[in-house]
Amino acid sequence: MMGNRLFNRVQSAFFSPLTLGAIGLMFLNDQLLKWVHILPGFLTGKLSDVAFLFFAPIVLAYLLRAGSRFRLFIAFVLPAVLFTAVNCLPELSRILAGGLSLFIPSRLWCDPLDLIALPVMPFSLAFILTRRPAAPTLSSPRTRLAEIALLASTSFVCVATSPAPPVLYEPVYMSWNDFRSAVKVLPPESIGRRGKIYVKGDYLYVSEPNRGIHVIDVRDPARPAARAFFRVPGNLDVAVKGSALYADSFTDLLVFCLAQEPEDSFLVRRIENVFPYDPGQTLGEGEFMSNTRNVEKNKGVVIAWRQIMEDPWKEGRR
């Protein structure tokens, strides 16, 4: 008899307007309020947590047919433990987000500050225990239809809770002074991404995009030997005429004097602002300027781009 009364209270809470409202609030908050910035970011960042921790144990208790205190205890402990773990263990957060991404691209924010929403769970328990027991109508077709609709809505809201924010790239700057003092003739380095190749006499000049120029001795084609590396930030092209090597360096044109031994070569002239500034030249494959933050030229040249995930409400959470 006690079990039936307890579950009838759970059933009453499950179909209550307050539970339906909490589910609707989570959906509205995740899909609209977080994006339109009507409310402060801190508030929208916590509304879904509060709503979830209120309705999740009620829904789980209903699914478990919680007619005993033990089942009711499980219905509250499981969401609390999962919520705490996701917000305190980044690896678990990534695993769960990967699972959700099977249905919709998702990302879960691992934020221990979200644990301030946990105190809502006692209110959820009190809401169940103070409900007037519902009449036992589980076999009613109308009840079954309402149950299916409510469970489907709850599943959708939970799966759609964290649409993946757009991928953006923020610039990594090198000051103009550091950029122009970074040019050096160095010992050979391993070649990364290969660019244009220029052959002149006994030497091969290989441009590594945005890094510099590798000088390779090819007098013995069977045994090419790396001789030097001209570090030239922002380099894309190279040309040699006589004893002069010309190389672009973002906006500037550099002229090197080639010595008989490549490692003895040196920079003889820099002509500044010959080429238009293109901060996008350091973007990688599949990265586009439309997905980048604004570039501030006064900060220097953009030597790389760092991928970030845009969180439209993150500033309000700091």
Q: What is the pLDDT of residues 238-277, one digit of tens each?
A: 999 999 999 999 999 999 999 999 999 999 999 999 999 8
State which of 112, 133, 164 marks the end of a domain. Answer: 164
Whether 316 maps to a domain, the answer reads no
82 and 103 part of one domain: yes
Is there a single domain that holds both residue 54 and residue 101?
yes
pLDDT of residue 229: 97
Calculate mean pLDDT across residues 51-80. Answer: 91
| Higher per-residue pLDDT: 159 or 15 | 15
Residue 90's pLDDT band (boundaries 50, 70, 90)? confident
Residues 280 and 297 in one domain: yes
Provide the pLDDT for residue 134. Answer: 64
Distance, in Å, from the CA atom of 179 to the CA atom of 173, rounded to the nearest integer, reads 9
Residue 139: the pLDDT is 53
pLDDT of the residue at 280: 83
Q: Per the structure, how many domains does the chain have? A: 2
pLDDT mean over 289-309: 77
For the ranges 49-63, 222-236, 255-269, the lowest mean pLDDT is seen at 49-63
Higher pLDDT, 4 or 7: 7
189 and 49 belong to one structural domain:
no
Q: Is residue 315 part of a domain?
A: no
Q: What is the pLDDT of residue 309?
A: 58
Is the same domain home to 158 and 131? yes
In this prediction, residue 182 carries a pLDDT of 94
pLDDT at 315: 41
Q: In this structure, which long-range contacts are made by residues 246-251, counting pairs with CB atoms below 8 Å and at least 24 apart in sequence?
A: 247/207, 247/213, 248/274, 248/275, 249/179, 249/183, 250/179, 250/275, 250/277, 250/278, 250/281, 250/301, 251/275, 251/276, 251/277, 251/301
Which residue would you say has higher pLDDT here, 46 or 105? 46
What burial letters (b/e) apply to 80-99, b meaning 16+ CB within 10 Å?
Answer: eeebeebbeeeeebeebbee
The pTM assigned to this predicted structure is 0.51
187 and 67 within one domain: no
Is 100 within a domain? yes
The residue segments making up the domain with residue 206 are: 169-309
Instruction: Give me the CATH number covering residue 183.
Output: 2.40.10.480
Confidence of residue 296 (pLDDT cuts 50, 70, 90): confident
pLDDT band at 104 (very low <50, low <70, confident <90, very high): low
Would you place residue 141 in the very low, low, confident or very high pLDDT band (cuts 50, 70, 90)? low
- 176 and 53 both lie in a single domain: no
The yes-or-no verdict on residue 1 having pLDDT over 60 is no
* 123 and 137 in a common domain: yes
Q: For residues 14 and 145, state if they share a domain.
A: yes
Mean pLDDT of the 37-46 span:
74
- Least confident interval from 136-150, 218-232, 256-270: 136-150
Average pLDDT over residues 160-188: 81
Q: What tokens were used for 271?
A: 């002509």
Secondary structure of residue 206 in the 3-state scheme: strand
Mean pLDDT of the 55-76 span: 90
| Within-domain flag for 317 | no
Mean pLDDT of 69-87: 91
Report d(CA 50, CA 102) in Å as an integer. 25
Indicate if 203 and 261 belong to the same structural domain. yes
Is there a domain that residue 314 lies in?
A: no
In a domain, 301, yes or no: yes
Residue 144 placed within a domain: yes
Q: How many CB atoms lie within 10 A of CB 157?
A: 22
The answer on 56 and 192 residing in a single domain is no
Identify whether 214 is part of a domain: yes
Does 243 share its domain with 196?
yes
The confidence score (pLDDT) of residue 235 equals: 94
Which of 164, 196, 213 is the endpoint of a domain?
Answer: 164
Stronger pLDDT, 311 or 190, i.e. the higher one: 190
Tokens linked to 256: 């090197």
Last residue of a domain, which of 164, 196, 219? 164
